[in-house]
Amino acid sequence: MPRKHTKSDNDKMSKKNTGYNNRKQKIVYFAVSALVLMTSIICIAVLILVTILYKKVDGLEESIEALQDIRQYDSYVTNRPVDMHNEALDIENSVPDESEIVDRAEAAVLDDSIVQLQGIGNNDDGIRRVYLTFDDGPSSNTDRILDILDSYGVKATFFVVGKNNYTQQYKRIVEEGHTLAMHSFTHKYKEIYASLDAYKYDLKQLHDFLYELTGKDCTIVRFPGGSSNTVSKVDMFELIDYLDGEGIIYFDWNVSSGDASGTYLSADQIAKNVLDNVNRFDNAVVLFHDAASKDSTVEALPIIIEKILESDNTVILPISGDTVKVQHLHH
């Protein structure tokens, strides 16, 4: 006979039910907790993943930018004649003391629209002023150049780099009344044009180096490759603003001797390049290079100086703070 449910049975049942409900609640509680925990973990994981990806994309963009710069630089270098390309590579790897610097960018043919605005119609006195300027020295040719200038009683401007083995030449430039001007300490495009700070550092290095050697506080500068160079990663106007703030004047050129071009030019060709163009300007700033390999530049100098001095109302002067500015870039 089936046993009747007694009160105590009901109690047992209800206890059993309560126990069952408690377990159920615990399971639900654990399930929900686990779900919340897992969701949190997934969220954090996704967040970390997104951050990593974002950084990677950022890095990738930087890499692409860097690559584009390198490509631009390389094409800049490779689009020039082969021997120039080699020279360019030499420049990048050079220690200024040991190897000469030849500025390929300064060989670039100037856009006439840039040049024609410069150095024309500036002089009220009707006197043409010619400024002979020499970049990238000193070199083993500096003394020869100084001797020639001295023999004609002519003063020039030397945009020098930093070299340890030419103490006497820096001093001679100053002692003989020429303008000692700054070009770059290292003349390494990739370094000096990497940032404003890098440019400042290089120029200060050169300034202090020259001040210690000669006592001259140089205030005239020429950018490697000129202000119109297309190599700089920094906006050239940023560098120009910096120079303005420091009271430093930059000069480009409006007449190129062509002596930095890849092919060897004879003294006669260099002289022709200069003499054909000097007369176009009231203020002609002529670009030469003072480098060991530039013998034909040295040989062209007497021809050039004699012709200029023969011209009426024409003088040869060193650049000073008062010189009419010949600059490729203007605000």
Q: Which is nearer to Zn ion, 18 or 230 (CB)?
A: 230
Contact region for Zn ion (CB under 5 A) — 50-58, 95-103, 198-206, 264-272? 95-103
Q: Going residue by residue from 212 to 231, which x/- string records binding to Zn ion, judged by CB under 5 A?
A: ------------x-------
Among 103, 259, 282, 290, contact with Zn ion (rule: CB under 5 A): 103
Instruction: Find the binding residues for Zn ion in span 270-309 (CB under 5 A).
Output: none
End-to-end CA separation in angstroms for the chain: 114
Range 187-191, long-range pairs (CB < 8 A, 24+ positions): 187/91, 187/96, 187/101, 187/103, 187/136, 187/161, 187/224, 188/91, 188/92, 188/94, 189/73, 189/91, 189/92, 189/105, 189/224, 189/225, 189/229, 189/231, 189/232, 190/73, 190/92
Residues contacting residue 317 through CB under 8 Å, at least 6 positions apart? 129, 130, 131, 155, 323
CB of 246 to Zn ion, least distance (A): 20
Q: Which is nearer to Zn ion, 105 or 267 (CB)?
A: 105
Q: Which is nearer to Zn ion, 136 or 252 (CB)?
A: 136
Q: Going residue by residue from 123 to 152, which x/- string records binding to Zn ion, judged by CB under 5 A?
A: ------------xx----------------
Under rule CB under 5 A, residue 162 binds Zn ion: no
Q: Which is nearer to Zn ion, 297 or 308 (CB)?
A: 297
Q: Which is nearer to Zn ion, 128 or 289 (CB)?
A: 289
Residues in touch with Zn ion (CB under 5 A):
103, 135-136, 224
